[in-house]
């Protein structure tokens, strides 16, 4: 009894959060397979990223992700036949939607929905550009299905934890999101992301690079900053996020590759590696706030590599393609940021403008 009490004393809200994420990811993988999802790793992503310590927050975050995914997919269904296969029109559409989506993701209270609105549109258009024969309706449907699988897993785990573990180890409160009607620096910042996304379309058309949708995800993910962190140039904070993403993806890929190569096709070992990787990544994410992004990217690299669509056909090549596409996205974004930094107009920040920035932080 004494040893059991000592063990319970070591449990913290942070430990519970890590256990919730592991359970959610594993359940998301199971649900995705039962539903016949095409890209199981995307369900695992949702099972990880949507999870929060309060069931109400998990539900809200899941709803925003579904709404954004569905809206972006439906827009792509309507626009893609008009702009493809001619890539210049596709690049223009990508720049417009990417700019609007990222600006709203930075300045709106519903930022998570806006982010996935742009992400889903970009993924559909780039995948259609890479694979002209794919049926867009089927692709959008399976993307929504995978998202629902991940969110269903999150809700099941979050609700169960709310009425059990979280009664003893409650999660810390999450600060409410803030918004702004107009933010000039955020708009300039979002325009740079739109240009980078358009360049990805051009690269995909010119060189037939695989899995460029992962590059688009990278561009939008690292460009989402609090309004107070953008300033007159987002070069420094975004470069810091790119560096942390590179470190997290690199370490996570090495960790996952070791498990994949050592598993010998064993689904049990792959699932064990997934659980350990998720726990380690979340532990890093819950640590020093300055480096939490490393933990997030570590986890996502693990999920890309160790969550195949079929466990009897697990291989390293798809994960390598996706990781290469991420670095292609970095290579496209950095010159755009440097150009924007060089062309930026220097101006003093007035006390009023500073106060508005502080009030509008996401």
Pick the more confident residue, 357 or 77. 77
pLDDT of residue 296: 94
* Residue 14 burial class via C-beta count within 10 angstroms: exposed 0-12, middle 13-18, buried 19 and up: middle
pLDDT of residue 340: 87
pLDDT of residue 347: 47
- For residue 158, give the 3-state DSSP assignment: helix
Mean of all residue pLDDT scores within the chain:
87
CB 267 within 8 A of CB 311: yes
**How many residues are present in the chain?**
362
Can you say whether the dihedral through the CA atoms of 278, 284, 287, 290 is positive or negative? negative
pLDDT in tens, 155-197: 999 999 999 999 999 988 777 777 778 889 999 999 999 999 9
pLDDT higher than 70, residue 249:
yes
pLDDT higher than 70, residue 142:
yes
Region of residue 174 (left: phi > 0; alpha: psi -120 to 50; beta: else): beta
pLDDT of residue 344: 67
pLDDT higher than 90, residue 360:
no
CA–CA distance, 151 with 262 (Å, rounded to integer): 31
CB 311 within 8 A of CB 263: no
In the chain the beta strands, taken as DSSP E runs, fall at none
pLDDT of residue 350: 37
- Which residue, chain included where needed, has tokens 């699932």? 271
pLDDT of residue 7: 57
Residue 134's CB is within 10 A of a number of other CB atoms, namely 12
CA–CA distance, 129 with 120 (Å, rounded to integer): 14
pLDDT of residue 173: 77
Pull the structure tokens for residue 14.
Answer: 């942070």
Region of residue 224 (left: phi > 0; alpha: psi -120 to 50; beta: else): beta
Helix and strand totals (H; E) in the chain: 15, 0
DSSP per-residue codes, 262-300: HHTT-HHHHHHHHHHHHHHHHHHHTS-GGGHHHHHHHHH
pLDDT of residue 15: 93
DSSP state of 228: G
Pull the structure tokens for residue 32.
Answer: 């995705």
CB 284 within 8 A of CB 294: yes
Pick the more confident residue, 69 or 205. 69
Mean pLDDT of 130-137: 83
pLDDT in tens, 294-350: 999 999 999 999 998 888 777 887 778 777 888 888 899 999 999 988 886 454 443
């Amino acid at each position: 009894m004494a040893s059991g009490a000592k063990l319970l004393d070591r449990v913290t809200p942070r430990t519970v959060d890590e256990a919730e994420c592991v359970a959610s990811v594993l359940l998301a993988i199971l649900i995705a397979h039962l539903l016949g999802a095409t890209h199981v790793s995307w369900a695992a992503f949702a099972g990880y990223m949507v999870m929060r310590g309060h069931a109400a927050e998990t539900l809200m975050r899941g709803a925003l992700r579904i709404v954004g995914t569905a809206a972006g997919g439906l827009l792509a269904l309507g626009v893609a036949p008009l702009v493809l296969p001619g890539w210049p029109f596709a690049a223009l559409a990508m720049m417009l939607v990417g700019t609007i989506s990222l600006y709203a993701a930075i300045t709106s209270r519903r930022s998570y929905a806006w982010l996935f609105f742009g992400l889903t549109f970009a993924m559909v258009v780039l995948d259609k550009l890479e694979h002209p024969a794919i049926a867009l309706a089927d692709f959008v449907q399976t993307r929504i299905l995978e998202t629902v699988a991940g969110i269903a897993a999150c809700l099941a785990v979050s609700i169960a934890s709310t009425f059990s573990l979280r009664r003893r180890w409650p999660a810390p409160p999450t600060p409410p999101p803030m918004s702004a009607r107009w933010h000039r620096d955020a708009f300039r910042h979002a325009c740079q992301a739109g240009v980078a996304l358009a360049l990805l379309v051009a690269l995909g058309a010119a060189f037939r690079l695989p899995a460029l949708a992962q590059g688009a995800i990278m561009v939008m993910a690292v460009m989402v900053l609090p309004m107070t962190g953008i300033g007159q140039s987002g070069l420094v904070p975004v470069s810091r996020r790119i560096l942390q993403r590179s470190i997290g993806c690199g370490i996570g890929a090495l960790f996952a590759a070791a498990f994949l190569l050592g598993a010998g096709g064993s689904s049990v070992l792959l699932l064990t590696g997934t659980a350990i990787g998720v726990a380690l990544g979340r532990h890093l994410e819950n640590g020093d706030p300055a480096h939490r992004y490393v933990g997030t990217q570590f986890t996502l690299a693990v999920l890309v590599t160790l969550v195949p669509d079929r466990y009897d056909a697990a291989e390293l090549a798809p994960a390598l393609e996706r990781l290469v596409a991420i670095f292609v996205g970095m290579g496209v974004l950095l010159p755009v940021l440097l150009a924007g930094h060089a062309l930026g107009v220097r101006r003093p920040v007035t006390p009023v403008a500073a106060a508005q920035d502080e009030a509008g932080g996401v």
